[in-house]
């Protein structure tokens, strides 16, 4: 089991490096100089928007991977954060930074969807 966890750590550390490496490149690309052409400026603004979204995505993943490594350190790796059951090894293989067992994840996804549906109802009510 210890050897197994070590290899999980290697995988996580590599993924963390991969998740943060493009972030550094993107940050550098955000420092591009201002251009005079208004069309170029619009394009640049659109690109920047996209870059910000990508930064957000990769930093979310980086945070998840980081906290999985912390769970490896404190011995709680592989336990669901919600119900503290073991997360299925298959799930951990596919998603080593998984924080929830499949059951809790499904519950979470479901309540996310319910909240999204609820928000839509409110938006529609406000728009009417």
**What does each C-alpha distance from 111 to 20, 35, 106, 107 come to in angstroms?**
30, 45, 9, 6
Q: Which is nearer to Zn ion, 55 or 81 (CB)?
A: 81
110 binds Zn ion (CB under 5 A): no
Count of residues making up the chain: 128
- x/- letters, 32..71, toward Zn ion (CB under 5 A): ----------------------------------------
Are 13 and 69 a contacting pair, CB within 8 Å?
yes
Q: Write out the H or E segment, with its range, that includes residue 103.
A: helix 102-127
| Rounded CA separation 27/118 (Å) | 36
Enter the DSSP assignment of 100.
S
CB closer to Zn ion, 13 vs 85:
85
* Stretch 78-107: interaction string toward Zn ion, x if CB under 5 A: --x-xx-----------------x--x---
**CB nearer Zn ion, residue 62 or residue 87:** 87
C-beta closer to Zn ion: residue 58 or 67:
67
Mapped onto helix, strand or coil, the DSSP state of residue 86 is strand
Contact footprint for Zn ion (CB under 5 A): 80, 82-83, 101, 104
């Amino acid at each position: 089991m210890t050897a197994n966890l070590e290899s999980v750590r290697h995988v996580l550390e590599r993924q963390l490096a991969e998740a943060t490496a493009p972030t550094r490149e993107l940050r550098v690309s955000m420092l591009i100089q201002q251009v005079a052409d208004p069309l170029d400026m619009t394009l640049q603004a659109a690109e920047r928007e996209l870059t910000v979204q990508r930064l957000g995505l990769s930093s979310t993943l980086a945070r998840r991977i980081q906290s999985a490594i912390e769970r490896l350190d404190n011995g709680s790796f592989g336990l669901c954060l919600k119900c503290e059951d073991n997360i299925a090894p298959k799930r951990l293989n596919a998603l080593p930074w998984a924080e929830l067992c499949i059951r809790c994840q499904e519950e979470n996804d479901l309540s996310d969807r319910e909240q999204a549906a609820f928000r839509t109802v409110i938006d529609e009510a406000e728009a009417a």
